[in-house]
Amino acid sequence: MRSAHTAQQVREAEEPLLAAGPEGALMKRASAGLATALATYLGRVYGARVLLLVGAGNNGGDALYAGASLAGRGARVDALLLVPGRVHPDGLAAFRSAGGRVVDRVARVDGRPRTAYDVAVDGIVGIGGSGPLRPEAAEVVAALDGIPFVAVDVPSGVDVDSGRVEGPHVRAALTVTFGTHKAVHLVDPGAQACGVVELVDIGLYPPVAPIEALQATDVRDLLPVPSPSAHKYTRGVVGVRAGSDRYRGAGVLSVAGAASGLAGMVRFVPAGAGGGQGPGVVDLVQAAHPEIVVGEGRVQAWVVGSGGGEDAAEQLREACRDGVPVVVDADALAEVSGPLGVPAVLTPHAGELARMLGVERQEVEADQLAHARQAAERYDAVVLLKNRHTLAAHPDGRVRVTTVGPPWLATAGAGDVLGGLVGALLAAGLSPLDAASVGSWLHGAAAAFAGRGGPLTASDVARAIPDVCARLLR
C-alpha cells in the first residue's frame, strides 16, 4: 500500500535519524538516490548536460550533492543559485570540488535554452514551501520551457499536503521523493505536475498515514473470496434500483457492474414500486443478464440512482427503508440533503459534489482532497469523488486514492458500472471504505485490461472485472 504522509509527519520521522546519525547522512542518502534516478532518466551520464535550480534549504542541498555525483562521472553540470546567500554550504562545496559550475544565467545555444541542457533539476523549494513560485523563480522556469524537469521531493509551487496548484509551478517529467509519498504525489491537480513518481528509501518510519493508495496485493487481500461451503445467499445479494424510461441503458450497466461475480445474486427492482417504467427496461436487463432476479426481496446492499431521472427520489427512499448499506449515484445524489441513517457510499463527480456542497465546480477541482473530506463529514458517508485520481474519503478523514485506470475510462456509462460494482462488494461484506476503494481500483484495472491502451466502452469494463479478479487471485 502506498501511504502519503503530511509534511509535519515527515519532519517528525526525520528527527530521530538526524539526532542518531552522523551529520548530513540523511541528505547523502537522499542525494545518492536522486543521482541514481537522474542517471537512469538520462540514459547516460558522461557528456550529459544538467542544470540544477538551487533554492535555499535541504532540497537545494540534495540537488547539489546529486549534481556533484553526476559531475564526477563526466556530466556537465551547471547550478543556478536562486538564493545565493542561503545555499547549503557543504553541498555547494562538494559540487564545486567535483567540477560543477555555478552560473548566473541559463545557458543558451542559438538563443534557445532547450538546446543547452538535457534535463533541469528542480531543487527550488521542498516540503516546507507553500504557494506558487516567486516571480524570479517562475521566470527562470518559464525560460526553460521545452526542457524536461526532474523534481526533488515535490514540484516547486504546488501544495504538498493538499495537491492544490494556485499559480506558477514546475511540471515535472519525474519526481524523486524520499522516505514516503506525500499527498501531492497522489492527489490531483498537484499529482499531474509530478509526472512519474520514484520513491527512494532513506530509512524513514513515519506513523500511519491519513492518505493511502491500494496496490494489487492490498486489493487481492480484500477481495471477498467464497468459502468452500458458500452459497448464493451467504455471498451476499445486491439490489439495484436504477434506470428509467429515458435512461434505460443505465439500468443495464448498473446491473452489469453488480453482476460481475463478486456477490452471490443480483436483484433488480424497476422504478414505480415494481413496474412504473413498463417492461422495456426489465426486458433489456434480463436479456443482458439472464441470471438476475427481478422484483422485491431481501438484499444486503442497494445501488440506486444511475439513470433514475424523476424516479431517483423514490428509489433512494425505498432503498434506505431496508436499513442496509446503499450506494448513491447520479440522479439520486440530488436527493441527498444530509446523513441517510444507513452506511452509505456517495459517488459524485466534481460537478455533482459542487452542487452538494454549494460551491463552484472549479473550487472542487482545485482542492479535491478538502472537498471530498468535507462532504464525507457533512453527509456521514464515504464519498467516492470520481476523477483522474479517484478519492474515497471516510467521515473520519481517512482517504484512499485510486491511481490506476486509463484516460479512456472517461466514457459514458462507466460510472454506472462502478456504482454496481461497489454495491456488490458492500453486499459481500466489505465496509463502505473498502468497498469504495477496492471497487474503484478494480474498475480502473479492468479498464486498462479491456482497453489495452486503446478505446473502450463501459460494457467492456464490466466484462473485464472477473478476469482482473482472477489474475489477482492466481
* pLDDT-based confidence at residue 366 (cuts at 50, 70, 90): very high
Place of cell 492544490: 164
Q: What is the pLDDT of residue 216?
A: 97
Tell me which CATH homologous superfamily contains domain 2-213.
YjeF N-terminal domain (3.40.50.10260)
pLDDT at 114: 66
Q: How many residues does the chain have?
A: 474
The closest of 198, 132, 196 to 170, measured between CA atoms, is 132
Q: What is the pLDDT of residues 41-87, one digit of tens each?
A: 999 999 999 999 999 988 999 999 999 999 999 999 999 999 998 99
- pLDDT at position 183 is 95
Cα-based angle 255, 422, 288 (whole degrees, multiple of 5): 15
Please state whether the peptide bond connecting residue 189 to the residue before it is cis, i.e. omega within 30 degrees of 0.
yes
Residue 7 CA to residue 4 CA, distance in Å, equals 10
Please compute the mean of the pLDDT values over residues 154-167 and round it to a whole number: 95
Give the residue carrying C-alpha cell 475510462: 409
Residue 275 has pLDDT above 80, yes or no: no
Mean pLDDT, the chain, as a whole number? 93
pLDDT of residue 270: 84
Residue with cell 546519525: 21
Give the residue-averaged pLDDT of 172-186: 96
Average of per-residue pLDDT across 244-265? 94
Residue 273 pLDDT grade (very low, low, confident, very high; cuts 50, 70, 90):
very low
pLDDT at 292: 96
Phi-psi region of 402 (alpha: psi -120 to 50; beta: other; left: phi over 0): beta
| Displacement of CA 240 from its chain's centroid (Å) | 28
| pLDDT of 391 | 98
Q: Could you report the per-residue pLDDT of 93-104, keeping only the tens digit for each?
A: 999 999 999 999
* Exposure on the CB side of residue 230, measured as CA atoms within 13 A: 15
What's the confidence (pLDDT) of residue 274? 43
Segment 444-458 mean pLDDT: 96
Q: What is the mean pLDDT of residues 379-401?
A: 98
Domain-wise residue ranges, the chain: 2-213, 216-473
Phi, psi of 199, deg, nearest 5: -100, 130
Is 33 a residue whose pLDDT tops 50? yes
Residue with cell 542541498: 61
For strands 2-5 and 211-213, give the pairing. Answer: antiparallel
Q: Answer with the residue of higher pLDDT: 67 or 7.
A: 67
- Residue 127: what pLDDT? 87
Question: Does the pLDDT value for residue 244 go beyond 50?
Answer: yes
- Which three cell numbers mark 262? 463478486
**Strand segments (E) across 28-164:** 49-54, 76-81, 101-103, 119-123, 149-152
Q: How do the residues of the chain divide into helix, strand and coil, expressed in percent and rounded to 5?
A: 45, 15, 40
- Give the mean model confidence (pLDDT) for residues 266-283: 70
Q: Which residue has the higher pLDDT, 14 or 219?
A: 219
Measured CA to CA, the distance from residue 2 to residue 209 in angstroms comes to 9
**What are the tens digits of pLDDT across the range 215-243?**
999 999 999 999 999 999 999 999 999 99
CATH superfamily placement of domain 216-473: Ribokinase (3.40.1190.20)
> Residue 304 pairs with which residues in a beta bridge?
241, 328
- Three-class SS of residue 420? helix
Q: Between these two residues, 112 and 437, which has the higher pLDDT value? A: 437
